Amino acid sequence: MMRELSARKIVRTLSLGAVSYLALSMESSGDLQHAVAQSNLPPVTVDAPKPRVRQPVQRSQSTRASRGQRSVAAAPPRQAAPVPYVVPSTGTVGTVPPAYAGGQVATGGSLGLLGNRGVMNTPFNQTSYTAELIQNQQARTIRDVLANDPSVRVVQAAGGGADGLFIRGFYYDSGDYGLNGLYGIAPYYSSGANFVERVEVLKGPSALLNGMTAGGTGVASGGAVGGSVNLITKHAPDFDITQLTATYASRSQFGGIVDVSRRYGEHKEWGVRLNSTYSNGNTPWNRQTDEFGNAVLGLDYRGERVRAAVDIGYQADNLNPPLRFFNVPATTTVIPPPPRAGLNFQVPWAYYAPTDFFTTARGEVDVTDWMTAYGAFGYHDSNINYAYPSPNISNVAPGALTSPPGVSQLGGLWSRPFAGKETFETLAGEAGIRATFDTGPVNHALNVNYSINDRTYNQRVLTRSSNALADLIFWNLYTEPTNIAKPNFSTVSANQKTGVTLSSVGASDTMSILNNRVQVTLGVRRQTAGSEVTNFLTPASSRPQQDTSVWSPAYAVLVKPVENVALYANYIEGLQTPVVVSGNFSNVGTVFPPAQTKQAEAGMKIDAGRFTTTLSVFDISQPSIISVASGVSASQQLNGRQRNRGVELNVFGEITPDIRVLGGVALIDGVQERTQGGLTDGRTAVGVPVVNVNMGAEWDTPFVRGLTFTSRVIYTGSQYVNAANTLTLPEWTRVDIGARYTFTSPWNGKPIVVRANVENVGNKAYWASAYNGVITLGAPRTYLVSTTFNF
């Protein structure tokens, strides 16, 4: 029987991550501090392996403004007196690694169980994009930020309001994004970028680091097997911020972004930061409007031995009509050319309206100078109401599904419209200890934690009638369907409730010698996962909670032959939701343990001081359930396998003080190695291009002070649509350009930044991606303009 949210369940979760005390000091802030165009958190050392004695040393501060402000003479902000305490290497709250040269990425990131690590001390491939990059590129949601990464491709439709991904050629669900290290707590379908300080992209599985993710409904999760995304929220720096940004996006979307931050207390221990955005109007597609907004409040406390942070947020989106993906049935024999850029193929009455309430609380206590205990808790309530058809490509004239008997017509579409409501309620928490100590010449960074993640999913879907064929509508890809009437959705076609419960214990030890020149990490996580289904329409399909467990080991080696070169290798796993065999198979009722995706990776990192290059090679094998034999002896077994092998080259930083680059190349060979009946063994994996390139550059012009030109090229190779490799999407290239100009306000002497970007300059129409039997369209030319004022 489905377990309800109970007091016992809440207490169990709160005990892992509740912060014992957090309150705002009511002391006056005094004079308003000088603000800058872009705030950076105070840089701290995150990789010191040895215990160190606390001293009343003042933290260094970063007051660097946006890159376009490099040549503008502006008075530095007056700093508030910071908390005179040093955070030990075992602490993570309020210690986001500072930006690297160029300001677009950070010098390190968070690695879950392992805590914060600098780039050159991380035996994995991770990129942490900064708030400065988000603001300067005018990123609206996280999918815009991820357009900088060659290992990532957004596979859900542009204009559809969802941000599902492929990372290293494997699916990553939009419901699995992490928020402050708690996965599944970020807004479910798409997260606004305005409240985010860091977007941390870890390439490769992460079961040891973060545990297993719930993934969608939790019953059939793809897991974080190719990579994961963690969002770090903004908190108050040591200077005041009062910032207003006016925004415009084509065709007529106007909006604003507010960022206000203060610190209070004798040593500015208490921090408050509010980030909010709102926009509304017509999008680049015909007949589409989008009303989007959020508000996120961040509170934090920085004491001598105690640190805590709390974030509370709400986000809402109202998209009319949403541009869905296209299903590609097995009967489809050709992929039609894409419609002209900006054409809206969706019916006018379709809508998509998700709302998200989310909160995280994280606290830590320095038990000693070499040991920190921590806990965190997160809660997320996501609701979505919708009505739309998801088109199927038939290439048949309206009135028939196939030809014959229908008449062939390129771009022919059909669908059974539906309406519904879905809710996702997610609880996440963790508690643990980080410690550093020496045994002779060996330094140990020991980590132990316990984590949980529970998700309850409710779905109720309505159709016009119980007769699927009678409900069908027909139209064509190249003609906007403005004359199709909205059905009366009155028949319940789906009504179910599912739940997934995840819990795990993880432990690791990073052993270092020769002043961190040689590092060996060993770790293991014991993961328990269970799921249950209650089907209110067909109770026979329901099943009770069923749990199973698995051990997931990991190890990594990092060697620095010289200080600015790091060689690394790792073995780590990713986990997927256990599968319970149902139907008429001979092994019905069998519960398979979480499927273990296995990665072996090796790489090299070179830090030239202001420019860093990472080269990595990886081999990832993902198992899957396939049917074996036939008739009465037919069974389901965990015998399927897809193997993705690849090479990644990533670069970031400053070539010169005036030229910055960001991007790289990903080469991936995705192969279906074991398939059902061996029918497609050896064929290329669906939706995995061999070549992906993302490369961007910025140039601060010498002829106009404060003027910066930007550009970016995104290339995606051809990709297969179906497992048989008979349908393909052609390669595509997108070019983006932009400029920004920073000058000093004549009214208050503070910087004003004007930005203008054009995405998809050539207004190219293209099929962007393929996954799981569907294909999606890319966005048309999009104009973005904003002006940031500081007060």
H helix or E strand, kind and range, residue 17: helix 7-17
The 10 Å CB-count burial string (b at 16+, else e) for 34-68 is bbbbbbbbbbbebbbbebeeeeeeebebbbbbbbb
Residue 35 in this model has a pLDDT that exceeds 80: no
DSSP state of 2: P
Structure tokens at 453: 């993640």
Confidence label for 591 from pLDDT (cuts 50, 70 and 90): confident
Span of 67-71, 102-106, 412-416, 511-515 with lowest mean pLDDT? 67-71
Residue 265, pLDDT score: 94
pLDDT digit string (tens) for 164-188? 999 999 999 999 999 999 999 999 9
CA 498 to chain centre: 24
Residue 492 in this model has a pLDDT that exceeds 80: yes
Average pLDDT over every residue of 586-606: 93
Residue 219 in this model has a pLDDT that exceeds 90: no
- Cβ pair 386, 322 in contact under 8 A: yes
Average pLDDT over every residue of 346-375: 97
Average pLDDT over every residue of 6-27: 36
Residue 581, pLDDT score: 86
φ, ψ for residue 725 (rounded to 5)?
Answer: 60, 35
Q: Which residues lie across from 504 on neighbouring strands?
A: 451, 527
The DSSP result for 260-287, as a single string, is EEEEESTTS-EEEEEEEEEEEEE-SSTT
Please name the residues in contact with 362: beta carbons below 8 A apart, sequence gap of 6 or more. 17, 19, 93, 180, 181, 308, 309, 310, 374, 375, 376, 377
Tell me the C-alpha distance between 527 and 505, whole Å: 7
Tell me the C-alpha distance between 179 and 383, whole Å: 18
- Cβ pair 488, 518 in contact under 8 A: no
Identify how many contiguous H helices and E strands the chain contains and give both numbers.
4, 40
Residue 57 in this model has a pLDDT that exceeds 60: no
Residue 6 in this model has a pLDDT that exceeds 50: no
Residue 332, pLDDT score: 95
Residue 81, pLDDT score: 57
The DSSP result for 285-326, as a single string, is STT-EEEEEEEEEEEEEE-SSEEEEEEEEEEEEEEES----E
Structure tokens at 789: 């004022």
DSSP state of 643: E
pLDDT digit string (tens) for 151-161? 999 998 899 99
Pairing of strands 774-777, 227-233: unpaired
Tell me the C-alpha distance between 759 and 735, whole Å: 7
Nearest to 164 by CA among 105, 113, 219, 213: 213
Half-sphere exposure of 212 (CA within 13 A, CB side): 38
**What do you get for the CA distance between the two ends of the chain, in Å?**
56
Report for 33-47, 527-541, 631-645, 711-725: range of highest mean pLDDT: 711-725
- The residue assigned the tokens 């309505």 is 462
Average pLDDT over every residue of 525-538: 94
Span of 49-63, 276-290, 315-329, 570-584 with lowest mean pLDDT? 49-63
Residue 250, pLDDT score: 95
Furthest C-alpha separation in the chain: 83
Residue 3 in this model has a pLDDT that exceeds 60: no
Residue 52, pLDDT score: 38
Residue 584, pLDDT score: 84
Residue 439 in this model has a pLDDT that exceeds 90: yes
Show the domains of the chain with their CATH numbers. 7-388+418-463+490-790 (2.40.170.20)
What does pLDDT average to over the chain? 89
* pTM across the whole model: 0.90
Residue 218, pLDDT score: 62
Residue 388 in this model has a pLDDT that exceeds 70: yes
pLDDT digit string (tens) for 459-472? 999 999 999 999 99
Residue 84, pLDDT score: 64
φ, ψ for residue 438 (rounded to 5)?
Answer: -110, 145
Tell me the C-alpha distance between 448 and 570, whole Å: 20
Tell me the C-alpha distance between 445 and 437, whole Å: 7
Pairing of strands 351-368, 371-388: antiparallel
Residue 48 in this model has a pLDDT that exceeds 50: no
Residue 82, pLDDT score: 59
Span of 57-66, 293-302, 695-704 with lowest mean pLDDT? 57-66
How far CA 599 is from CA of 253, 343, 713, in Å, comes to 43, 42, 29
Residue 220 in this model has a pLDDT that exceeds 80: no
Residue 51 in this model has a pLDDT that exceeds 50: no
Confidence label for 579 from pLDDT (cuts 50, 70 and 90): confident
Instruction: Tell me how many degrees the CA angle 224-380-533 measures, rounded to the nearest 5.
Output: 70
- Cβ pair 441, 517 in contact under 8 A: no
Tell me the C-alpha distance between 479 and 240, whole Å: 53
The 10 Å CB-count burial string (b at 16+, else e) for 487-526 is bebeeebebbbbbbbbbbebbbebbbeeebeebbbebebe
pLDDT digit string (tens) for 100-150? 999 999 999 999 999 999 999 999 999 999 999 999 999 999 999 999 999
Confidence label for 389 from pLDDT (cuts 50, 70 and 90): very high
